Structure 1
Amino acid sequence: MSVLPLARTAHRHIDVDGVRVFYRESLPERDDAPVLLLLHGFPSASHQFRRLIDVLGSRYRLIAPDYPGFGHTETPDGFTYSFDRLADVTEGFVDALGLTRFVMYVFDFGAPVGFRLAERHPERIAGLVVQNGNAYAEGLSDGAREFVSLRPETPGAEETIRGLLTLAGTRSQYDTGVPDPDLVAPEGWTLDQHFLDLPGRKEAQVALAFDYHSNVLRYDRWQAWLREHTPPTLITWGVGDPFFPEPGARAYLRDVPGAELHLFDTGHFALETHLPEIAPLIAGFLDRAWT
C-alpha cells in the first residue's frame, strides 16, 4: 500500500526590524516549486495552516509567518499595533526571505495585510487564494459592521472587544456556522487562546480592533487594484461565516470576473472542516497560476 508523501516542515525565526518573526516553511522536493504565502487570520496564527502544509508542502513551498501580536512572533517593547505595521513587518519578512514572486493566500486579517502588500509590490503577486478574506462592503455582516464602528472613546467598546478574547469567544469563531462541530479539532481554539492569554497580547488585539476601520476605508483601492491587475484568483468561502457572509465572496467576481468561486457549507475557518475539498483546488490553482 502506498502512502501519500507528507511535507517536511521547518520552524524558524527571522529578525525583521527588531521583530523576531516566527514562520513555518515546507521543504518541497523541487527547488523551483511554486511559492504560496499563507497569511493567517484572527485570533489564530500560522498553526492554522499545519494540515494544509502537510498535504501540499512536499509539492509546493508553503510559507506561513506569525504576525506581530500573534503566535510565536516576539515584538520589542513599544511596538505599535496597526494593520499598516503588520503589513510593514510582513513586507520585511518577504524581503528577508528573498521572495520575489508568490501566490498569496489571504484569510480574515490576511486580506488587509495581503492587499497592502499587493498595492506596494504588484509585480510579486502571481495569484490570489481568497478564503473568507473580505474586501467589499457587502461582505460585512451586521455584527462585523458594529465591530468596525467601535472607537476607543465609545463607552463599553473595549469591554466588547475583550469579550471576544475569551475562550468562549475564540471557540465560537470556529464553531459558528459549522453544521457538524465534531469536525473541528479543539486544539485550534485552545492554542489560539493560549497565545491570547500571553502578557500584552490582549492589548495588541484591542489596538488592532480599533484600527480595523482603516481596512474598510481602503476597500475602493483594493478593488481598483484587482480590476487593474486581474490576478488569477481562487475563492473558497465558508458561507456560514458570522463576520464575512457569502456576498463578500461573490463581490470579487465584479472586479476579477475570471475568478474561480467555490462555496462551502461551513463557517469562518473553512480549512478546519473542508481541507479534503479545498486542498486539491489550491493544488490545481497553483499549477495553473505559476507560469
Structure 2
Amino acid sequence: MIPANETFNGTFPFEPRFNQAAGFRMHYVDAGPQHAQVVLCLHGEPTWGYLFRDLTSRLSTHYRVIVPDHMGFGKSETPADRSYWLQDHIDNLERFVLSLDLREITLVMHDFGGPAGMGLAARHPDRIARIVSVNGPTPFGQASQLERLMANAAEAPWFQWIVQAHAAGRLETVLGELGFNILSTLKLNGFERNEVISDSWLRAYGSHFANPSDCLGVIGWAKGFALDAHRFEMPDAAAQRAISSKPALAIWGMADRTLGAAHFLPLFSELFPSAPIHRLPGVSHYSFEDAPVAIASLIEAFLQQTTQRALA
C-alpha cells in the first residue's frame, strides 16, 4: 500500500482520506467545495486515483470531486481474505457512496470503473445525475453486451495475454511482480505520450504492487476474466429507464487497443442514443494520460451545459 501522505514529488497533492464502510481501509480524495455538485471518478486496471490528478485539479475549483481507490489499488488496503471480482468492487463502491450519502452524482468512469459505476447506477439510479464514459464500458443489461465484450476480448492484446497466461499457469506469477513490470503492462494496454514517463510517474503506478500479496487486486480482475467470475449488475426496467434518461457523454481515445471503440461506443449509444460522443484520434487506452487537458475541458463543458439546462 502506498503511504498515505505520498505525493510523488507534488504530482498528487491531495489530502488523503479513508473510509471503512466496505470493511477495509479505502482511500479516497475529496477535493473542492463540500456542497457543490459531486463528480465521482472511478478508475480501472491497474491504475488508481492518480489517473485523475489533472481532472481533479481542474474541476475541484467549482465541483466536489471524489476519487476512491478500489480495494487492492492505490492507497487502499489489499485484504488477503477478500475476493476481487467485479461484484465485490460494486459492493464496496455502494457501501462507500451510501456512507457519505452522495447524491446527484456525475459518474466519470475509465476502464473497469465503467462496469463498477454502472453497477452502482443499477442499484441506485436515484443518486445518479450524469454519466461520463472515458474509455470505460457502460454495460447495462443490453442484449448485445456479452457479444460485444467477447468480440473485443478476441482482438485485444491484454485480454489475449490473460487467457494465454492463465492457461499456462503463469498469470499470478507475472502479475504478482507488477511493481517490476508496471511499464510493460501499461504499454500493453496502451498510452501514446511517452514523455509522461518519469521516476515519479513510475513510482505512482508501480509502488502499490511491491510484493505478490499487494497484487491481489490486479490479479483478481484478470483472473476473474479468465474464470468468467465477474458478474455484471443487471438493472431492472425502472433503473434502465431512469439511467437512460440522464445526460451522458462518451469520450474515447480511438487508438485504444484494449477497449475498442468499435465494440463499446455502440454499447454506449444503445443506452444513450442522443448523447454526444467525442472521438480522440491518436489517444490510447489510458486516455487521461494521453489527453488530460482535452478530456478535462470536454467534461467541464458538459457539466456546465447540463447544469444550465437543468436550471432553465
What is the TM-score of this pair, normalised by structure 1?
A: 0.83
Map of 1:23 onto structure 2: 28
- Alpha-carbon distance, 1:177 to partner: 5.0
- Alpha-carbon distance, 1:107 to partner: 0.5
- Is residue 2:276 matched to residue 1:263? no
- Alpha-carbon distance, 1:208 to partner: 2.4
Partner Cα distance (1:112, 1:104) in 2: 11
Give the one of 95, 99, 103 matched to 2:102. 99
Q: Which runs of 5+ in 1 are unaligned?
A: 1-6
Q: Deviations over 1:125-149 (max 9, x none)?
A: 1111111112441544343553565
Map of 2:254 onto structure 1: 239
- Is residue 2:181 matched to residue 1:165? no
- Alpha-carbon distance, 1:105 to partner: 0.8
- Alpha-carbon distance, 1:160 to partner: 7.7
Give the one of 112, 116, 140 matched to 2:115. 112
Residue 240 of structure 1 aligns to a residue whose secondary structure is coil
Q: Which amino acid aligns with 2:277?
A: L
Alpha carbons 1:38, 1:105 under 8 Å: kept: yes
Residue 291 of structure 2 aligns to a residue whose secondary structure is helix
Identity %: 27
What is the TM-score of this pair, normalised by structure 2?
A: 0.78
Matches within 5 A, 1:74-223: 74-134=77-137, 135=139, 136=145, 137=148, 138-140=151-153, 141-146=155-160, 149=163, 154-156=167-169, 158=171, 162=175, 165=178, 167-174=180-187, 178-183=191-196, 187-198=200-211, 200-212=213-225, 213-215=228-230, 218=232, 221=234
Of the structure 1 ranges 132-141 and 110-119, higher mean CA displacement relative to structure 2 is found in: 132-141
Residue 178 of structure 2 aligns to a residue whose secondary structure is coil
Map of 1:3 onto structure 2: none
- Alpha-carbon distance, 1:63 to partner: 0.3
Once superposed, what is the RMSD of the aligned Cα atoms? 3.1
Q: Which amino acid aligns with 2:18?
A: H
Map of 2:296 onto structure 1: 279
Q: 1:120 to 1:149 in 2, by over 3 A?
A: farther
Give aligned pairs, total.
280
- Alpha-carbon distance, 1:260 to partner: 1.3
Map of 2:5 onto structure 1: none
Partner Cα distance (2:274, 2:177) in 1: 36
